[in-house]
Chain A
Amino acid sequence: MDEALKVEGLYKTYGRGAKAVQALKGVSFAARRGEILGLLGPNGAGKTTTMKSILGLIEADAGKIEVFGKDLWRRPREAARHIAAVLEGNRNIYWRLTPLENMAFMAGLQGIDAKGRRKQHEAILEILDLGDKKDTVVNHLSRGMKQKVAIACAFARETEILLLDEPTLGLDLSMSYTLRRQLLTLAQEEKRTILLSSHDMDVVQDLCRRVVIIDQGKVMADDEVAHLQSLFASDTYEVLVAGSLTSDFLALLSSRFTLAEPEEEDGLTRLRVTFQDHGDLYRLMDLLREGQMIVRSLTRVEVDLGSIFLQVTGAKTEEVTA
């Protein structure tokens, strides 16, 4: 079966009466075997409730959760056989133990005898650049390393599915980038299905081919990142011209095109122009030539996941699915 995880019509309300808060309103999505699926949403959108419901830590009011076709609904211990998670980054491990001891313990909690798994655990730590820290007490490791140990522990549980909540939270850019590469390697080598939740759009865009965007307890978009980019692509171009533009020339441009505030830097002026039709590109070039402007470059502005996310969660009434 290609479908590793299937979530269908998940509903959850916290509290009762006037104080009731509906956290999930029929969340449905599926993750394929070996896929890294991104789960995005603003604070309070229902991401954590969704993840904890999948893990059985929260009992949803209604819905269906299946792993490889097996029904896990209201069977938290059965869910634990198939799904592991890193929910609080570096806080999900024992700081008094070493990375290898942590991995052995987590494996044991999963019902796996760690005795014969040492080499496997060491290999995971090697991929995460923790080979030389395997016997160092976690308390003495940096935040980034602790986070990696938490991820290593999740892999040590040998479940088919991994849920990673903010795996790069609090890491600097370089460490975050390294961890992303390592996560990709681990996911490929260990053949796991990963559901990844993050506020960092770069992380999600970098790791996930497909994303599910949740807002106010509803799935607002469930699609391939590339497809979403094409759906949300605008005809905005960035034009770099030499020198400065006169105010008259700027006024002329603004009267004919949708123009963002120009930026000047190092003797160049950066213009962001949104075209209404394909003819606008030629008309802009004609106008620049008439004004004796020298065009240094012309680039189409790619829409990133962050912009898509903002548009999707901003346009709450227009559900975007494909």
Chain B
Amino acid sequence: MKASPILLLKTLWKKQLLEFARYWVQTVGDNMNTLIVVLAVVLGARLAGSGSPTLGETLDAVVVTLFLWAIGMYLLSAFSWDLVTEANWGTLEQLMMSPYDFRFIAVFRSAIMVLLYIFEYILILAVGLAITGRTLTLDLITLLPLLLLVVVAALGVGLFVAGIALIHKRIQSVVNLLQWVVLTLVVAPVGLSPLFALPPMSAPAALIREAMTQGVRLSQFSWTSLAVAGGLSLLYFLLGWAFFGHQERKARREGLLAQY
């Protein structure tokens, strides 16, 4: 029997949707911190750093930057968090005992969770905008491909962190600190030095900021900057993928898989 990726995606989608629908209060509650910040920003509170040239001055820019931070932070910790949670539930072994590569399961599930997260984000944003009567002007054709690159890079780093969690188990406190690293990466001043573009997420995040603050469209970016952003995102994803695979083999060899 050939294990089809579409079937896996369908299976994971159905499960996540069922859990989301059944426990939506808890799911929204888990993301409440971020959602409150989003709501506060839209309602007029001053976000730390808003108005600075790196974050952009308009509400549009702040909302998008906040979104980048939220998604980046979420993806970075999601893998390791899920891994530890599943291990504590006793279900990690069941996921590992699948003909599907666990990395596919993890990446697909995170992609689904990101979609659900975006849904929550948009919903809370809509509430904020409806209350204040403000509107957003977003060039989605430019933003979506660049956001995808941020997500791809964040997935790679997430896999990397999960790979460490697989062997060293309790790294949640370190993961919590990562949110500040993410914020730094998202606002890294790439214009000052090309070196700032090298960390994961920085290059596509910089392009997004450029698009938001200067109104640059996707077609107006140079091929070089797009290739660097795309190439780096892909590279980080592949590095995370390979590192997790290495850690998984090590865990199987040392008998550490699922022993939490």
Contact = CB atoms under 8 A, between A and B. Distances in A.
A10 to B, nearest CB: 13
Given A58-B257, A97-B15, A109 B22 contact: no
Interface in A75-131: 76-78, 80-81, 83-85, 87-88, 91-97, 101, 104-106, 108-114
B249 A111 contact: no
A173 to B, nearest CB: 25
Contact of B19 (A78, A81, A97, A110): A97
Interface residues of A, number: 40
B93 to A, nearest CB: 6
B95 interface: yes
Contacts of B96: 57, 76
Nearest to A48: B255
Instruction: Please classify the interface of chain B as helix (H, G, I), strand (E, B), loop, or mixed, using the class held by over half of its residues.
Output: helix
A69 to B, nearest CB: 18
B91 A91 contact: yes
Contacts of A12: 255
B91 A92 contact: yes
A8 interface: no
Given A96-B22, A104-B14, A105-B15, A110 B90 contact: no
Name the residue among B10, B23, B101, B255 with the largest chain A CB count within 10 angstroms: B255
B1 A111 contact: yes
Interface in B95-146: 95-101, 105
Contact of A96 (B19, B252, B254): B19
A109 B100 contact: yes
B32 interface: no
Q: Is the interface of A mostly helix, strand, loop or mixed?
A: mixed
A194 interface: no
B18 interface: yes
A101 B15 contact: yes
A207 to B, nearest CB: 22
B22 A137 contact: yes
A217 to B, nearest CB: 13
Interface residues of B, number: 35
Interface string B78-96: 0000000000011101111
Contact of A49 (B12, B97, B105, B255): B255
Contact of B11 (A57, A91, A108): A108
B252 A109 contact: no
B252 A57 contact: yes
A56 interface: yes
Contact of B94 (A49, A59, A83, A92): A92
B93 A109 contact: no
Contacts of A104: 11, 14
Most A CB contacts (10 A, CB to CB) among B7, B94, B249, B252 go to B94
Given A76-B252, A92-B91, A109-B11, A55 B97 contact: yes
Across the A-B interface, give the 10 residue pairs with the lowest CB-CB distance, nearest first. A108-B11, A91-B90, A111-B3, A88-B90, A109-B98, A59-B252, A59-B253, A58-B255, A80-B99, A81-B99
Interface of A: 12, 14, 23, 49, 52, 55-59, 76-78, 80-81, 83-85, 87-88, 91-97, 101, 104-106, 108-114, 137, 153
Interface of B: 1-4, 7-8, 10-12, 14-15, 18-19, 22-23, 89-91, 93-101, 105, 249, 252-255, 257-258
